[in-house]
Structure 1
Amino acid sequence: MITEPARGSTVTQTIDNDTADMSDVEAGAFADYVPSSELQKVLTEAVSLLGGSERPGQVAMAAAVEQSLRSDGKLAVQAGTGTGKSLGYLLPALLYCLHEDARVVISTATLALQNQIITKDAPLAVEAVKNVTDSELRVEVLKGWQNYVCLHKLNGGYEGSEDDLFSTMEDSLAPGAGGGGEAASGRGTKTARQMRGFAAETKKLYEWARETTTGDRDEAPRGISARAWRQVSLSSLECVGEKCPFRSECFQVSARDKAAQAQVVVTNHAMIGLEAAGKQNPLPPCEAIIVDEAHELDERVRSQASTEFSANMLATCAKAAGNLGVSGSEELSQQAIMLGVALQNLEDSRLTQMPEAVAECRTLALPPLKAALTELSAKSGSDAGSDGEKHADAAKTAVAKAALTSLLDTLETMTPESVANGETILWLSRGRDGDQEPRLYTAPLDVAGKLANRLWSEHAIIATSATLKLGGTFAPLIHKMGLQLEEPQPETLDVGSPFRHDRQGILYLARDLPAPTRGEHPEVFWDRLVELVEASGGGALGLFSSRKMAERAGEVLRERTDLSIMVQGEDSMAALVNDMREDTSACLMGTLSLWQGVDLPGNTCRLVLIDRIPFPVPSDPVIEARCAAVKRAGGSDFMEVSLTHAALLLAQGTGRLLRSAADRGVVAVLDSRLATARYGGFLRASLPPLWPTEDAQVVLDALRRLHQKVS
């Protein structure tokens, strides 16, 4: 049984009490973390510019970051919502750069945080430092090459070069392509609608691209698909480099030049992943790396190092080589046919050994790929022809070279030996609906070692997040990031949160509900969900384990309530979240992407519903491989993989409730295992310290009081 205060106590009344003390951290709690006098002045100045008050947790964090940077150390710091962690590391980082003539790279996982740093936190931090030291430092953002408009491509420089590895050809290869009859007619109608939509997107994008001064994708109009963006962008491998007639105006080059001149560079985890994977990386040299949203780092790095291999990719490379008159085309075409047959005979699953036919295709494809690349490199140095012809040839050659280089890198990484020893995870998939061309995918099993070997050992490292502790310890996430491989071991610090979680929010543990099964939730589950939503008068964010359950929740709530109910997928995420912000009675039901990054402060979100503990799907190839590796090492795959995965997501989902000091509400976990299972204690220890109860009536009464206050 969960220990809780008696019903009717003061604590049960506080989620609708605006006068509750919001400071969770006492000033004396961090006696060992005292900032230098200069940093204290800068912190005071930043608080003054904000019009706020000093936060002990932020001061302690800033002092710890300052000490770690000065000593070239490693630090993992958990800073709960409301701490102001961005300023907690920006201010000491700027002073470090100023006095040590150094550069610091800040890496984030989400676009929202990156934009917040660049547009809000960094300008304030720079101003505070300038007011105290009379020195103005530069902070610049740096994104991947494909995040910017390519002026050469925009002006037709890559016309006719689209048959490359990076544009899909699935339409011609998908099952059912071609043919006639009623079904074909229906597909044709759908395709026509899609083409019209794509044409409208492209027109809007081109109009913006010809006016932008930054070329930054994040500033493009809303509703631009990845396919449309591809029409005005390219990868760094496809760039013609110094031969480009727009080199002096290039957005990508300009962004890199600015980053090279800045003291602080803000980037994303994908760029860190490139560095860890040993790939071409435009990050400038630096002395320190600050990883914000560090709980997501290992998955982002693994994703960056993932590759794919298919018959279509081989055929596309063969065509590119043939069009440019270099050798290898015939051999690659033959291997594309052989690979297509081999993959059609395989089932969608993880492969612990590379199939013999696939290994043979890989071996036979390597020599013609290398030969073609050698000839393309020689061809790219040719100066024959007019300027226009040279530019056109250079573009076509660059695209082909990029396609072949990418495929060669994939094949050299995807060796039969690395698959057999478990170093590389290999699986085959035909897509979610099973109607795509069969493709092989690879991902590295271990990213901790890559991070430690290529990054951690050479820089001062600060890792921070609101959720770095799982089960009350830093160990699981430090291990996933590879920081435990460093000597000395990283320092750890939890600065808490300025929020009073136990006074602002309730954690409802539905012990009396039946434990969930793989099938449909029972009727009693839906009855309880409707009770909770009606008691709160809406303002509910539903976090579900599957899209099917989220859609079912939408159906049930629409049938049984008069509230405005929205379901993920019915509109863009930004539009749905905005609609909820504008209507305090609206409810939003969704799945994975709502568990993290959604910010709904105030009365718009007073009830967070979680249908079940978010354990990973056991059949996921990466999860399956990680579990197998833990078992081989004699560990518990449930504890080290499944439970830590669930704890992290559960903590992130619970964190959607309290986004400001004025927020009040309930997190309702309708999975009785959180209260009854042996592992429930580990999961509860990973959550923000909300006041726990198993009494549904206490929760319903609290929600009704909160609803009355809002309305």
Structure 2
Amino acid sequence: MTGDPSDLPSVRDLLAHAVDAVGGTEREGQVRMAEAVTDTLRTGEHLVVQAGTGTGKSLAYLVPAIRHAVAAGATVVVSTATIALQRQLVDRDLPRLATALAGPLGREPTFAILKGRRNYLCLHRVHTGAPEEPEDTGLFDPFAVSRIGREVKRLHEWSSETDTGDRDELVPGVSEQAWRQVSVTAQECLGAHRCPVGDDCFAEQARGEAGRADIVVTNHALLAIDALQEHQVLPEHDLTVIDEAHELVDRVTSAATAELTPAMISTATRRCGRLIDSGIADRLLEAGEGLSLVLQEMPSGRLDELPTALGGAVAAVRDAAHACVTALGSERREDVEEATARKVARSALDEIHDTAVRLLDAFDADEGGRTDVVWRSGGEHSPRPPALHVAPLGVGGLLRERVFGAGPTVLTSATLALGGT
């Protein structure tokens, strides 16, 4: 503890002060909710609050959260489903609250926004360019007279102006194809210590800022990734507030859903083709072509049983991807360009291998004991090519263990009631 909570004004007094400072009026539901959040912080129990429009739920959870963070020298994570609410919290609610409560709390509360690494500009990618795809060479030339080329050129110019590298701060935005040229996933990142521009990394700066903040605003997708991955993404925190909680299950399910397509396999083959023996890479390409043929012969929909042909095709992809990963070997002494290419290739191969393993494992148990569901999409009457998907049948266990089990959690939304209760 950095201070005695009893030295600070009560939550009710702080709420009244905050409401007055922003020109609002006290609402009974808002006071009740703030007191309930305070009880959650005291008891460690979870809280579910349905707070209809007009309740003022943001202030109702932010005021007790800020008070606790300042008193305990701790961090509180607030997760939202939509960018609109994220922006409302970071651009309007929290700045006004920080100013209003600075006097009563003895210092101005701090806050930060944290997103997945793919949402931040990668300066290494900007300086060196994305790894070339053989058939795409020249397509993403920043000076090419094409829409994507113009967007990439604009991103290069923006990289020297932005303080955050946050994609949402680029207005107007750019296409996903252009953004992919200047960003990396967590799996593709070289790491701050190995990267030549690691000291200036926007994603690392955001993480560092979040680690020092009283309130960290994030999204359900990153909350899900933090729960799914072995390494911690979010900073240590005493309380998680999940706003727009009615969206949580869908967002976590989406983050836990994997996809396998022939196009992914083709891309991974190209990425590792220059780094390993061509015969090993060709084996993966052939496995992808085999999968494509099998998928074209299948109808769309859920798979309750694994057809023999599909099982063989997915197993061939799994084994070929594993052979490519083995051929790539571990990290070694090499220049940054080769290290980047190796990291990008390994990321693509790992995703294919792990998804293939999961697809096959989904059918291991009896139908009643399965934890994943598999389906085929795309094809004949769809603009998308055929694909395989695997998703958890339910995420209750994951949420219970990795989110609710990590500490007290407040779930709130305007619509949370089930069956009238």
Q: Equivalent residue of 1:236, what SS? A: coil
* Superposed counterparts of 1:112-191, under 5 Å: 112-160=84-132
CA–CA separation in structure 1 for the residues paired with 2:387 and 2:211? 39
CA contact (8 A) 1:161 1:395 kept: no
Separation (CA, whole Å) in 2 of partners of 1:253 and 1:297: 26
- CA pair 394-163 structure 1, distance change in 2 beyond 3 A: farther
Contact 2:301 2:376 in 1 (8 A): yes
Report if aligned partners of 2:12, 2:34 keep a CA contact under 8 Å in 1: no
Question: Residues 574-610 of structure 1: CA distance to partner in whole angstroms, max 9, x if unpaired?
Answer: xxxxxxxxxxxxxxxxxxxxxxxxxxxxxxxxxxxxx
1:639-678 to 2 correspondence within 5 Å? none
Cα pair 2:287 2:320 within 8 Å, conserved: no
**CA 1:357–1:285: 2 relative to 1, 3 Å:** farther
Given candidates 324, 331, 339, the residue that maps to 1:372 is 324
Report the Cα distance in structure 2 between the residues aligned to 1:45 and 1:238, rounded to whole angstroms.
Answer: 47
Q: CA separation of 1:436/1:43 partners in 2, compared to 1, >3 Å: closer, same or farther?
A: closer
Matched residues in 2 for 1:204 and 1:162: separation? 24
Q: Deviation digits for residues 366-421 of structure 1, max 9, x if unmatched? A: 3443343244352xx3224xxxxx11111111110110121222123223326944
C-alpha distance 431-209 of structure 1, shift in aligned 2 (>3 A): farther
CA contact (8 A) 2:119 2:183 kept: yes
Q: Which moved more, 1:304-313 or 1:318-327?
A: 318-327
Give secondary structure in 1 for the equivalent of 2:146: helix
Residue in 2 aligned with 1:92? 64
Mapped partners of 1:338, 1:53: distance in 2:
66
Q: Distance in 1 between matches of 2:381 and 2:128?
A: 36
8 Å contact from structure 1 (residues 419, 426) kept in 2: no
Partner of 1:229: 179
1:332 and 1:365 in contact (8 A); partners too: yes
Structure 2 residue matching 1:237: 3-state secondary structure: coil
How far apart, CA to CA, are the structure 2 residues paired with 1:214 and 1:102? 24
Task: State how far apart, in whole Å, the 2-side matches of 1:89 and 1:357 are.
Answer: 54
Corresponding residue to 1:466 among 394, 397, 414:
414
What is the distance in 1 between the residues matched to 2:396 and 2:41? 22
- 1:563 maps to none
CA distance in 1, matches of 2:121, 2:273: 29
3-state SS of 2:235 partner = coil
For 1:432 and 1:226, the matched residues in 2 are separated by: 26
Identify the match of residue 363 of structure 2 among 400, 404, 416: 416
Residue aligning to 1:650? none
The reply to whether residue 395 of structure 1 matches residue 340 of structure 2 is yes
1:212 maps onto 2:157 in alignment = no
Partners of 2:354 and 2:91 lie apart in 1 by 37
Q: What is the aligned partner in structure 1 of residue 3 from structure 2? A: none
Match of 2:350, as an amino acid? Answer: T
Distance in structure 2 (CA, Å) of the matches to 1:344 and 1:52: 60
Shift of 1:470: 3.9
Deviations 1:176-227 (A, max 9, x none): xxxxxxxxxxxxxxxxxxx833333333333323321111100112242212
- From 250, 253, 268, the equivalent of 1:317 is 268
Deviation track 1:417-447 (CA, whole Å, cap 9, x = no partner) reads 2694442221111269524321111211101
Q: Which residue does 1:441 correspond to in 2? A: 389
Check whether the contact 1:311–1:340 (CA below 8 A) recurs between aligned residues.
Answer: yes
Q: What displacement does 1:347 show?
A: 0.9
- Give 1:254's aligned amino acid: Q
Please say if residues 95 and 129 of structure 1, whose CA atoms lie closer than 8 Å, have aligned partners that are also in contact: no
Instruction: Pick one of 217, 228, 236 that aligns with 1:266.
Output: 217
State whether structure 2 residue 315 is matched by structure 1 residue 363.
Answer: yes
Paired with 2:134 and 2:417, the residues of 1 have a C-alpha distance of: 47
Indicate the RMSD between aligned Cα atoms, in angstroms. 2.4
Q: Secondary structure at the match of 2:234?
A: coil
Answer yes or no: is the 8 Å Cα contact 1:238–1:395 preserved in 2. yes
Identity of aligned residues (%): 38
Q: How does 1:511-660 map to 2 (within 5 A)?
A: none
Stretch deviating more after TM superposition (293-302 or 238-247) = 238-247
Shift of 1:86: 0.8
For residue 347 of structure 1, what is the amino acid of its counterpart? P
Compared with structure 1, are the counterparts of its residues 331 and 279 closer, same or farther at alpha carbon in structure 2 (3 Å cutoff)?
farther
Residue 259 (structure 1) shift: 0.9
- Identify which of structures 1 and 2 has the higher relative contact order when contacts are C-alpha pairs closer than 8 Å and 6+ apart: 2
SS state of the match for residue 26, structure 2?
Answer: coil
1:278 maps to 2:250? no
Q: 1:220 to 1:315 in 2, by over 3 A?
A: same
Alpha-carbon contact 1:352-1:422 (below 8 Å) kept: no
| Count of aligned residue pairs for this structure pair | 402
In 2, Cα distance between equivalents of 1:120 and 1:80: 20
* Residue of structure 1 in register with 2:254 after alignment: 303
Q: Please state if 1:330 is matched with 2:282.
A: yes
> What residue in structure 2 maps to residue 704 of structure 1?
none
1:111 and 2:63 correspond: no
Q: Check the 8 A contact 1:161/1:396 in 2, yes or no.
A: no
Counterpart Cα distance in 1 of 2:365 and 2:156: 44
Are the counterparts in 2 of residues 354 and 419 from structure 1 also a CA contact under 8 Å? no
Question: Against the structure 1 CA distance between its residues 147 and 419, is the aligned structure 2 distance closer, same or farther, given a 3 Å change threshold?
Answer: farther
Structure 2 gap segments, 5+ residues each: 1-7, 140-144
Q: Which segments of 5 or more consecutive residues in structure 1 lack a partner in the other structure?
A: 1-35, 168-194, 385-389, 474-711
TM-aligned CA deviation for residue 58 of structure 1: 0.9
Q: CA deviation at 1:157?
A: 4.5
Partner of 2:142: none
- 1:417 maps to a residue whose letter is D
Instruction: Report the TM-score, using the length of structure 2 for normalisation.
Output: 0.89
Task: Provide the residue aligned with 1:605 in structure 2.
Answer: none
- Opposite residue 235 of structure 1, the aligned amino acid is T
Cα distance, 1:298–1:373 mapped onto 2, change above 3 Å: same
Instruction: Show the counterpart of 2:152.
Output: 202
In our comparison, the structure showing a higher alpha carbon Rg is 1
Cα distance change of structure 1 residues 99 and 161 upon mapping to structure 2, 3 Å threshold: farther
Does residue 68 in structure 1 map to residue 37 in structure 2? no
Query: Structure 1 residues 315, 69: CA separation in 2 closer, same or farther (over 3 Å shift)?
Result: same
CA–CA separation in structure 2 for the residues paired with 1:253 and 1:407: 27
Offset, 1:279: 5.5
Matches of 1:70 and 1:145, distance apart in 2 = 34
SS in 1 for 2:364: helix
**Aligned residue type for 1:274:** I
Q: 1:450 aligns with which of 389, 398, 406?
A: 398
Letter in 2 for 1:277: L
Identify the residue that residue 4 of structure 2 maps to in structure 1.
Answer: none
Which residue matches 1:641? none
Choose the corresponding residue for 2:293, options 331, 338, 341. 341
Maintained 8 Å contact 1:157/1:391: no
CA distance in 2, matches of 1:42, 1:93: 11
> Could you tell me how far apart the structure 2 residues matched to 1:404 and 1:106 are?
34
